[in-house]
Each structure stands twice: as structure tokens, then as C-alpha cells.
Chain A
Amino acid sequence: MRRLGSIVAPLCLALLLIVGWEAACRGFDVPPYLLPAPSAVGAALIHNAPTLAVAAWRTLVMALEALLAASLFACALALAVSLSRTVDQTVRPLAVALQVTPVVAIAPLIVIWAGIDHPGRAIVALAAIVAFFPIFSGAVRGLGAADPDLDRLFDLYGATPFQRLIRLRLPSAVPFLIEGHKVAAGLAIVGAVVAEFVAGSGGAQGLAWRILEAGRRLQTANMFAAILALALMAAALHVVFQALERRALVWWRGR
């Protein structure tokens, strides 16, 4: 009953808002370039479905490539940082400086470095920068999160540093790594969209470009349709990663 309510109630609210929106657009004669009616947005969504699907696929692929790159770099660096105090002290201030710098600010630079002809590369690089930090900080925290008593037992049993890493610290880090990747996946989408805005060229042909393009032509219904497609894609990715997280945690702790 409660579960049914948790599905029905938000649906009712959404439906109510859509009906109100449609009525307001028709009743007050709102110009469609300012606020298109939901029916117009729906029509645009159906009409543009093939282009939007291709654009969404491009954005998704770029975000996932960025996630993969971020994961490799973040895990490798976290490992180096957790193994050596010197590396930690050397790298961490730089990492923090890069983290607090808004990605929008460094985007034009990355676009130049990637080559104006390769906006896709710049977008992947920028999204990877955004996705890097949750994985990095999760991995660093996880690698230091082993149960201190279990750590003492490894001392007692005379474990080598390599045994301690492979059999205690890495497995202890798994829940933190999973959480970091889940957060990073969402951020990779955000990063890809922001980067595509900043790159400001149609070369990558992602969803952000569709939004920009429709905006410049004042095709607001198309804009809404592209935003809706983006929201749906991000939500789907979130659901997938949440399911993966649950599976992985069950595998890790056996329940």
C-alpha cells in the first residue's frame, strides 16, 4: 500500500503540473518560444526522437569513456598516495587545487589542447576531470579504512606489505570505490554536458549541442525535448549504477 503510494503520489503531482501547464499555455496565450505547451514538447520529442537518441548515445558514450579514464587515473593515483607519504604530500595540494577550480574555467584551455577539430576529446577530458575526484577521494579513504584490529592481526601474523595491500586494504576499499564510481557516473554526465556547452561547437553532436542549437533558433519545444531526453538518460544511468552498487555490495559482504 505504502509502496503503491510512493509511485502513485508523485505521478499524480506530475500529471497535475502538466495539466496545469497545458491549461495555462492555452488560457493565457503564452508565446511558444517563451513556454511551449506540454503537448508541443511531446510532439517535438516524437518528431526529434531519432536525432535525440543519437545525440543521447553520443553524450552517454563520452560520459562513460570519461568515467573509465577517470577511474583508471584516480585508482592508480590513490594507490600511489596511500602507499607513500611523500607522494601523498606532493600530489594532494595539486589535486585539491584542480578540484576547486571550476571545470568551466579550464574548459577553453582543454579545448585548445585537444585540438579545435577534436571537441569529443576535450569533452571526454573535461568530464573525466569532474569524475576523477569522487573516485580518487573514495579510493584514498577506502584504502585507509581497514579495521584497525584486523590490521593488528596482520601485524601479528607477520604479513608482508604486499599481502597487507592485496588481502586487507584493497578489499576493505571496495565499498568506498563502489560509492565513488556511482557518484562519478552522475558527475560524468554533468561534466560532458558542461564541456559540450563550453566547447561550443557542433563537432561532438551530443545532447548539450541539441539544447544549444534549439535555443539559438528559439525552438523552445525542441529545447525542452532535448532536456527531457537528457534527464531520462541521467536517471536511467543512475538506476543502473544503483543496481550495480547493490549487486556489488551483496557480492562483497555475502548478503
Chain B
Amino acid sequence: MPSLPAIPIATLDAAEVSYPGRGPALGPFDLTLAAGEIVALVGPSGCGKSTALRLLAGLEAPSRGRVTRATARGETSLVFQAATLAPWLSAQANVALPLTLGGLAPGQAKQRALEALWRVGLRGAQSARPAQLSGGMAMRASLARALVTHPKLLLLDEPFAALDEITRRALADDVLAIWAEERPAIVFVTHNVEEAVYMAGRVVVMTPGPGRVAGEARVAAPTPRPHGFRTSELFRSAAERVSELLARAMGAAA
């Protein structure tokens, strides 16, 4: 993607995280994230992918190393594996939450929440409670909540892991379409090599925990992905490269 400006929006510089009593969880880990780029983090369970996301979100401080972020408060959004909606609030109130917590007037927040719900394809679901939504719809609401602030950095922590294959593919395309409109930087954590290659311009493979960078692969295809991309030679070779890196990372650990 040659058109991307090379301004880093966040960097992890030899960042390490260890928890008292549990030992090291991540790193030293390096990642430079340019504004508007989509990066996938792929690695085995427990390699510290989610920890890396929390560092990028500013929810945790590194035990060692440095984290720099060029985003102001409210410009970073996070989506988890579970939809993580408040059961007592309607879909609309859930989506409006980041805005109302930030002090926006309720009327305006509701209007913007409604628009965000429309963007993720949840027209008419605004008054439904999370328990009344299907898994895919709840995930869309969660995505709408992340998008409602128009973030510059969107962090996705295995957001499709709990969904069926069809819903997962539809949501992946939706995320890419939304990216094309606003171009937030996206960091996307996944176990799934194909999903990583489909979504990201750059796939960073991590070693088993405490995770370091094992290698990275670039995916030189336009975003949103052209029709038939999943069956293209480019997709296949990129997926193979990532699988190889992953196998090597696992082998080195064994």
C-alpha cells in the first residue's frame, strides 16, 4: 500500500509485560503501526497477543520497554472476542456509551449511535437488548460502539472467533468496507491464518509466550479485497508464508 503516509500512530519498542507471580507474558516485542494500516497479529494461545493490544490501548503499562501513542483520549477503540455489551442497556444505549461517558449530550449521542448501528447493518435493532440479538448481531453492535467515536486506532481482539464461518466472512468484509471510508489504523488479533491474510496488509507472526516477533508477511492486495480474492494465487501464497512463519516459530520453541 504505497499511498499510506508513514506517520506512526503507535509503537511498541522492546515492550515487555510480566505479571507478578505469573512471569513474563509478552516480549520484548516491537511493532510500529502506521496511520491507516491494517496489521494482523497471529500467534499461538498465550503468546501475549491480547496483552499487546492492551498496551496499544493504554490500558496497561509495559514492565520494560516503551509504548508511544499518537492518539488522544477517545481516539482508540477496542473490540473483544465477546460482544461485551451491557445487558441492561438497549443496543443504541450501548453504542452511545463511549459518547455519553465522554460528556456528549444524550440526544446527540443517541443520533450518532443510531448512525453507527446503520453502518454495521443493524437498522431497526436499536431498541433491542443484547439478549435479543444473535451472536453476529451482538458483535456488530460491539463494532458499532467501537466506530461511534470515529477512532484513529481500532483494536480488534479475536472479534470473530465466536461466530460461524458465514457471519465471520460477512463481518470481515464489513470491517474492510468501514476501513475504506475512514481509514483508521487497525490491529487485528486472530488464531486464523486465512482470516489474517484476508484482512491485513501486514501479518505479524508471534512466537509462543512470552511472544516476540517471529516474522512478518506483507499482503500486496487492494483493500477492500477484490471479488475472488480468497481463491487467488496471491491469497494462497501469502497464507502459505504466514503458515511457514508460524510453523517455524512453534518449532523454534519446541
Residues of A bordering B, CB below 8 Å: 147, 149-150, 152-159, 163, 167-168, 171, 174, 252-255
Contact = CB atoms under 8 A, between A and B. Distances in A.
Nearest to A175: B87
A255 B132 contact: yes
Contacts of B101: 154, 157-159, 163, 167
B129 A153 contact: no
B228 to A, nearest CB: 36
B130 to A, nearest CB: 8
Interface of A is mostly: helix
B211 interface: no
B57 interface: yes
B87 A156 contact: no
Interface residues of B, number: 25
Interface string B50-77: 0000100111000000000000011011
Interface string B89-120: 01000000110011000000000000000000
Given A157-B102, A158-B73, A158-B101, A254 B132 contact: yes
B86 interface: yes
Contacts, number: 57
Interface of B is mostly: loop
A254 B74 contact: no
B84 A149 contact: yes
A150 B88 contact: no
A168 B86 contact: yes
B235 interface: no
Contacts of B80: 149
Contact of A252 (B54, B88, B98, B102): B88
A250 to B, nearest CB: 10
Contacts of A158: 73-74, 101-102
A157 B131 contact: no
A113 B19 CA distance: 53
